[in-house]
């Protein structure tokens, strides 16, 4: 069975080396494995929750799209799209909002943190909290459940959100599934390495600590950042401990075991920090120069990026559109065309006045027709070898047997216990056909004596 892997990236910033090593790189490699079907998307609706700077949103969407493609993501192999190009996502968000408990969302860490901070400052608990922030986990649940993802790679801070997606999906299944599991319940997959790639000062590399190494900016920017990596004050010639050096940790994250061993030995032998930084730069530049070039090429052709993402959205919608159709059905947002039971009086009348008429073909076989009160032929049966079997079938239909109407092009057929027993006329369009099916259903209502 294929495993569906899905993850979103909030488009509020520019990816740095830590994002690449911890999340983007591993996700691209995972997408190249056999037996996986990957969905990667730009969570730009989520970005609006945190950022009201349109320029920054737009810039970040572009840079993140280019980063993934430059890193080797193959848009033909995966489904790569912008969340905001899938109108089914906000629609599903609403269906899920209606089953998500407010109490559940009250417990979301991000919302609770805002409330706690407000209380500490003596403010209204909900000061500055938008409904977007409050409902953030429901939108994320829609992202995940829309595509029935099995596995969702995320950072630690997002695990609770994936668990909420499970809760909400389960509740929807229970309320509307009628024994059918609409939604697959997802599992969070934590990328341990995200937490461990250190930044310039040794803390986790993160934009909020301002300790990042830029990814694709320019070789010079990368070199400048590396020169600012904090080290101890041991001079060249003095032995250095690789295990307490985050410069070494950074090097190790990108090096082969043999390369790491060489640097380890050389540091123990007294290699200077300046020299070690130079080696880290060379290692990173060796790996990033080619994707950096692709990145800048992609940024120079934004219209091509647009095409790639729109094609990705079309692909995603081939799943999302029919699935949402089923979900709408399930909650009761259904077409009026096929309604008959809703008007019992009319249905009863139709049933009472419809009649089965049997007749004999020239070749001696038997058939029957079902005629509406006005004489319209609703059904013509197949041929039967004898009048008795024809009669048995029409009797079963009359008694409201398990008749199953199946649309076939612009016509339809009627099945009884897995066998086609009769068919309707062919119509000029689907609307006329559906109206006739509704009349047939009405005519087949069991009539109480
Ligand atoms: N909230 C996630 C983050 O900030 C991004 C995201 C949005 C996401 N929708 C998702 C991640 C669905 C995984 C699945 O990191």
pLDDT digits (tens, 9 = 90+) for 120-151: 999 999 999 999 999 999 999 999 999 999 99
| Residue 152 Cβ < 6 Å to ligand 1 | yes
Ligand 1 centre distance from Cα of residue 43 (Å): 7
Tell whether the model's pLDDT for residue 320 goes beyond 60. Answer: yes
**Angstrom distance (rounded) from CA 148 to CA 171:** 15
Nearest to 312 by CA among 71, 68, 12: 68
**Angstrom distance (rounded) from CA 243 to CA 116:** 38
Average per-residue pLDDT in the chain? 92
Residue with tokens 């079309």: 314
Tell whether the model's pLDDT for residue 343 goes beyond 60. Answer: no
Ligand 1 centre distance from Cα of residue 191 (Å): 13
- Across 226-256, b (16+ Cβ under 10 Å) vs e yields beebebeeeeeeeebebeebbbbbbbbbbbe
Give me the pLDDT at residue 339, please.
Answer: 66
Residues 333-358 have a mean pLDDT of 73
Tell whether the model's pLDDT for residue 342 goes beyond 50. Answer: no
Residues 69-84 have a mean pLDDT of 98
Residues 87-93 have a mean pLDDT of 98
At 425, the pLDDT band (50, 70, 90 cuts) reads very high
| Residue 10 Cβ < 6 Å to ligand 1 | yes
Give me the pLDDT at residue 173, please.
Answer: 96
**How many percent of the chain have pLDDT more than 90?**
76
Residues 387-392 have a mean pLDDT of 92
Taking the CA of residue 155 as reference, the ligand 1 atom at the shortest distance is 15
First to last CA, the chain: 53
Q: What are the pLDDT digits (tens) for 23-33?
A: 899 999 999 99
Q: Dig out the tokens for 101 from the structure.
A: 């408990």
| Residue 7 Cβ < 6 Å to ligand 1 | yes
3-state SS record for the chain: CCEEEEEEEECCCCCEHHHHHHHHHHHHHHHCCCCEEEEEEEEHHHHHHHCCCHHHHHHHHHHHHHHHHHCCCCCCCCEEEEHHHCCHHHHHHHHHHCCCCHHHHHCCHHHHHHHHHHHHCCCCCCCCCCHHHHHHHHHHHHHHHHCCCCEEEECHHHHHHHHHHHHHHHHHHHHHCCCCCCCCCCEEEECHHHHHCECCCCCECCHHHCCCCECCCCHHHHHHHHHCCCCCCCCCCCCCCHHHCHHHHHHHHHCCHHHHHHHHHHHHCCCCHHHHHHHHHHHHHHHHHHHHHHHHHHHCCHHHHHHHHHHHHHHHHHHHHHHHHHHHHHHCCCCCCCCCCCCHHHHHHHHHHCEEEEEECCCCCEEEEEECCCCCEEEEECCECCHHHHHHHHHHHHCCCCCEEEEECCEEEEEECCEEEEECCCCCCHHHHHHHHHHHHHHCCCCCC
In a mutational test of the pocket of ligand 1, which residue from 4, 5, 8, 83 has the highest number of ligand atoms less than 8 Å from its CB? 8
Give me the pLDDT at residue 345, please.
Answer: 66
Ligand 1 centre distance from Cα of residue 292 (Å): 25
Q: Are 60 and 299 a contacting pair, CB within 8 Å?
A: no
Query: Is the model more confident about 107 or about 398?
Result: 107
Tell whether the model's pLDDT for residue 63 goes beyond 80. Answer: yes
Ligand 1 centre distance from Cα of residue 149 (Å): 13
Listed ranges 156-160, 192-196, 222-226, 443-447; the one with the highest mean pLDDT: 222-226
Query: Is the model more confident about 13 or about 179?
Result: 13
| Residue 43 Cβ < 6 Å to ligand 1 | yes
Lowest-confidence pick of 84-88, 302-306, 327-331: 327-331
Length of the chain, in residues: 449
Tell whether the model's pLDDT for residue 177 goes beyond 90. Answer: no
Q: Roughly what angle, to the nearest 10 degrees, separates helices 302-331 and 88-97? A: 40
In a mutational test of the pocket of ligand 1, which residue from 5, 6, 7, 83 has the highest number of ligand atoms less than 8 Å from its CB? 7
**Angstrom distance (rounded) from CA 229 to CA 200:** 4
Q: Are 149 and 4 a contacting pair, CB within 8 Å?
A: yes
Domains belonging to the chain, first-starting first, are: 3-100+135-195+301-307 (3.40.50.620), 216-298 (1.10.240.10), 336-443 (2.30.29.80)
Taking the CA of residue 46 as reference, the ligand 1 atom at the shortest distance is 7
Give me the pLDDT at residue 378, please.
Answer: 94
At 401, the pLDDT band (50, 70, 90 cuts) reads low
Tell whether the model's pLDDT for residue 192 goes beyond 80. Answer: no
Give me the pLDDT at residue 398, please.
Answer: 82
Residues 235-240 have a mean pLDDT of 95
At 449, the pLDDT band (50, 70, 90 cuts) reads very low
Q: What are the pLDDT digits (tens) for 351-388?
A: 778 889 999 999 999 999 999 888 889 999 999 999 99
**Residue 78 Cα distances to 18, 49, 59, 339, angstroms:** 23, 27, 23, 40
At 405, the pLDDT band (50, 70, 90 cuts) reads confident
Give me the pLDDT at residue 447, please.
Answer: 55
Ligand 1 centre distance from Cα of residue 57 (Å): 16
Q: Are 436 and 378 a contacting pair, CB within 8 Å?
A: yes
| Residue 277 Cβ < 6 Å to ligand 1 | no
Give me the pLDDT at residue 344, please.
Answer: 61
């Amino acid at each position: 069975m294929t495993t569906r892997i899905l993850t979103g990236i909030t488009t509020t910033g520019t990816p740095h080396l830590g994002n690449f090593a911890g999340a983007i790189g591993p996700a691209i490699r995972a997408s190249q494995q056999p037996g996986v079907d990957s969905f990667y998307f730009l969570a730009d609706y989520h970005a609006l929750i945190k950022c009201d700077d349109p320029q920054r949103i737009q810039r970040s969407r572009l840079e993140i799209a280019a980063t993934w493609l430059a890193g080797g993501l193959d848009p033909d192999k995966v489904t790569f799209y912008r969340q905001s190009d899938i109108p089914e996502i906000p629609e599903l968000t609403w269906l899920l909002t209606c089953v998500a408990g407010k109490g559940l969302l009250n417990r979301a860490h991000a919302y609770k943190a805002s409330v706690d901070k407000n209380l500490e400052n003596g403010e209204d608990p909900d000061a500055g909290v938008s409904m977007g922030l409050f409902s953030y986990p429901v939108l994320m649940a829609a992202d995940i459940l829309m595509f029935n993802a099995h596995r969702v790679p995320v950072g630690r801070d997002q695990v609770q959100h994936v668990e909420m997606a499970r809760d909400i999906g389960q509740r929807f299944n229970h309320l509307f599934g009628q024994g059918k599991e609409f939604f697959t319940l997802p599992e969070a997959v934590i990328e341990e390495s995200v937490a461990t790639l250190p930044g310039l000062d040794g803390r986790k590399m993160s934009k909020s600590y301002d300790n990042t190494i830029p990814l694709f900016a320019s070789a010079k920017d990368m070199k400048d950042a590396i020169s600012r990596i904090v080290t101890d004050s041991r001079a060249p010639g003095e032995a250095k401990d690789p295990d307490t050096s985050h410069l070494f940790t950074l090097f190790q994250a990108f090096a082969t075991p043999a390369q790491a061993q060489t640097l380890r030995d050389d540091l123990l032998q007294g290699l200077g920090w300046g020299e070690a930084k130079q080696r880290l730069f060379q290692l990173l530049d060796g790996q990033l120069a080619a994707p950096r070039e692709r990145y800048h090429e992609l940024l120079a052709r934004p219209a091509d990026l647009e095409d790639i993402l729109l094609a990705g959205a079309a692909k995603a919608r081939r799943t999302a559109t029919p699935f949402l159709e089923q979900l709408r059905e399930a909650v009761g947002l259904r077409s009026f065309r096929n309604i008959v039971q809703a008007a019992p009086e009319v249905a009863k009348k139709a049933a009472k006045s419809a009649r089965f008429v049997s007749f004999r073909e020239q070749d001696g076989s038997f058939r029957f027709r079902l005629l509406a009160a006005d004489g319209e032929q609703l059904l013509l049966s197949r041929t039967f070898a004898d009048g008795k079997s024809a009669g048995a079938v029409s009797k079963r239909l009359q008694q409201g047997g398990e008749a199953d109407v199946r649309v076939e092009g612009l016509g339809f057929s009627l099945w009884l216990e897995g066998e086609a027993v009769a068919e309707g006329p062919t119509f000029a369009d689907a609307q006329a056909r559906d109206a006739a099916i509704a009349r047939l259903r009405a005519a087949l209502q069991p009539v109480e004596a």
